Amino acid sequence: MNAITLRVKNAPGFRIDGSNLLPATLAAASRAELPRIVLQGAGETCALGDLFDIALEQTDMPALTIEGDAPWLDRIGANMTEGALTVHGHAGDYAGIKMSGGELHIQGDAGAFAACEMQGGRLSIHGNAGDFAAGALPGDMEGMTGGMLVIHGNAGARLADRMRRGTVLVAGDAGDFAASRLVAGSVCIGGKVGAHLGYGMRRGTVLLMNAPARLPPTFTEGGHGFDTFWLLFTRMLAREIAPFSQLTGAMLPRRYAGDLAVDGRGELLIANS
């Protein structure tokens, strides 16, 4: 089985669909076949060998590494089920869309719709993520339904919109409408949040490390008996990135319930209030 490294040598001048650049798929291709793989663009096509220098190495598991900035390469890791995919640079839109397994690591920034409708696996973004991370595609009713999204930088607007399951960690700030229309799952934000936090939130958990400038008027303070949940939650977060790894079960947060304008069974936890 091959571990493949793609080193960016040319930018195409138009956006490229990278959904067929998957570790398991490329690992099955021969050295001669790889440069001839056709990539679809905006009404144009190009060959893999036109954009990348290709290197192969024998390995026990499928792995793919992309070296260099490729903000024009969309849908990296789309529908990924296994293996490891690492981008040493920036990635385009829709990174990790509908992935259900494996690990996708982006060392730079990712565009809009990262982890959109993700079902499983792990996506780590070491820079910033654009709008609608872990959200739903326009017209669809479900966002992220499983897996873990970890953003070391900031997230754009509509983070986790319509999310149903899974875990989202953002070490930095999040834009407007974070956790909007959240159905279930956990969203943790280490920095500041924009306007309309938890708009239309039905269930699920939102954890803020810092109190927002303004609490949503449709959230009410109160609630007891979540000590056991908090203990288990902080144990899980202890394995993850700062600042969440610094929480302990003894540091009970302030709890709010909402959005009372809809179902009202979601919870907003504020750690440092």
Nearest to 129 by CA among 187, 188, 170, 162: 170
Contacts of 268 by beta carbon, 8 Å cutoff, 6+ apart: 197, 198, 206, 208, 216, 219, 255, 256, 257, 258
Q: Give CA 158 to chain center in angstroms.
A: 12
Distances (CA, A) of 7 to 37, 103, 113: 15, 20, 24
Domain extent listing, the chain: 1-64, 75-272
**CA dist list (Å): 49 to 5, 12, 15, 34, 54:** 12, 12, 16, 7, 7
Average pLDDT over residues 233-248: 94
pLDDT in tens, 243-254: 999 998 888 899
Closest CA to 218 of 194, 200, 205: 200
Determine the pLDDT at residue 46.
92
For residue 123, give the DSSP letter.
Answer: E
Q: How far is CA 212 from the centre of its chain?
A: 22
At residue 273, the pLDDT reads 57
- Mean pLDDT across the stretch 44-71? 92
State the pLDDT at residue 30. 85
- 43: confidence class by pLDDT, cuts 50, 70, 90: confident
Q: Which residue do the tokens 């999040």 mark?
A: 174
Is the confidence at residue 262, as pLDDT, over 80? yes
How far apart (Å, rounded) are the C-alpha atoms in residues 89 and 135? 23
| pLDDT tens-digit series, residues 126-135 | 999 999 999 9
Q: CB neighbours (10 Å) of residue 228?
A: 9
Q: What's the predicted TM-score (pTM) here?
A: 0.94
Centroid of chain to Cα 241? 14
Question: How many other CB atoms are found less than 10 A from the CB of residue 195?
Answer: 14
In the three-class reduction of DSSP (H, G, I as helix; E, B as strand; rest coil), residue 235 is classed as helix
DSSP state of 129: B
**Average pLDDT in the 242-267 region?**
90
Strand, helix or coil for residue 48: helix
